Amino acid sequence: MRRVRYYSHGGPEVLVVEEAAVPEPGPGQVLIRAEATGLNYVDVQIRRASEPGTLFHRPLPAGLTGDVVGTVERVGEDTDPALTGTRVAALTEDACADYVVADADWLVPVSAGLNAEAASVLPTMGAVALGALRLSRITEGDTVLVTAAAGGVGHLAVQLARHLGAGTVVAAAGAAAKAGFLKEVGADVTVDYSQPDWTDHVRQVVPGGVNVILEAVGGDTLLDCIGLLAPFGRVVGYGAANGDWGTVPILRLAALKTLSAFSLLALRAAAPEQARANVVELAGLLESGQLRAVTTTLPLADVTKAHRLFEERSVLGRLVLTP
């Protein structure tokens, strides 16, 4: 089978597609024959991170994380044999391959009628968007701002905010050219956070401040977002696209503002039933057409091109590889 590896840190050119043996599922695991694999931007940061001890550094050689959609070919020891032949989606650490091993505990059932590329948002991206919004305690009529709104999590968060009762949804992306796409997925207002006056534009639209912000950029953008909050407003961070979470002086939060961070793995550990219920809800929204997963698809052999698109920040929605 084919799999993706890199043996040195660096640009997209370090990614190689190589031949390898089909892996064997261990106890509590399944072997999945992949139909589609949703890629994660965080792997760009991990691939680049050559300095040990930094936030994104991982040992070499390494593969790419992702959400695999496919059919269970066989199961490991102490795993329900009835899973064999079922169509599932799963987040895995080594996702870009024709066959992938995944833990059985967090498999997401995927109906036959659901497009594989769209289903790739279920295990992680959709679950992060919905989980972060729920952590924000969003209420009917709230004004919601989403940064990195044109990305895999962001474009889902824009739609889910509306589903959960948001009044006005402001979508912030790093390029003005993405405004049309953001309008298509339901944003009321779009802003380009790469511009120095972007917060002024938000204040013009929402003079009383923003109630809920989902923040995925980090650094100065996170600080800007805190400044945009209304009294009792909440920022939920779930990523650091610029490579650095940054630091937040406590006085920035003194005006009745709240900052929290969402982790899908932490939710699974602390409230597993809620985490599973979120995924069931997401699947229903996708199947009914109430939630739209926008995807760009390339063949597995073009993984280097896929990572170049990530680095150009030109991807709208989720980037997916197929066999």
- pLDDT for 240: 77
- Read off the pLDDT of residues 49-60 as tens digits, 9 standing for 90 and up: 888 988 788 999
- pLDDT for 69: 98
Superfamily of domain 125-266, CATH level 4: NAD(P)-binding Rossmann-like Domain (3.40.50.720)
Average pLDDT estimate for 116-125: 98
| CATH topology assigned to domain 2-120+293-322 | Quinone Oxidoreductase; Chain A, domain 1 (3.90.180)
For residues 127 and 106, what is the distance between their CA atoms, to the nearest angstrom?
12
Q: Give this prediction's pTM.
A: 0.95
For residues 163 and 179, what is the distance between their CA atoms, to the nearest angstrom?
20
* 136: pLDDT strictly greater than 90: yes
What b/e readout covers 27-55, taking b as 16+ CB neighbours within 10 angstroms?
eebbbbbbbbbbbbbebbbbbbbeeeeee
- pLDDT for 252: 80
- pLDDT for 56: 86
- pLDDT for 243: 64
User: Residue 169's closest CA among 197, 136, 147, 194?
Assistant: 147
DSSP state of 291: S
* Tokens matching residue 286: 């996708």
Each domain of the chain, given as residue ranges in start order, spans: 2-120+293-322, 125-266
- Read off the pLDDT of residues 16-49 as tens digits, 9 standing for 90 and up: 999 999 999 999 999 999 999 999 999 999 999 8
Amino acid present at 297:
T
- Read off the pLDDT of residues 255-284 as tens digits, 9 standing for 90 and up: 889 999 999 999 999 999 999 999 999 999
- pLDDT for 246: 74
Kindly write down the DSSP assignment for every residue of 100-111, as one continuous string.
EEEEGGG-EE--
Cα 303 to Cα 21, 165, 288, distances in angstroms: 20, 38, 31
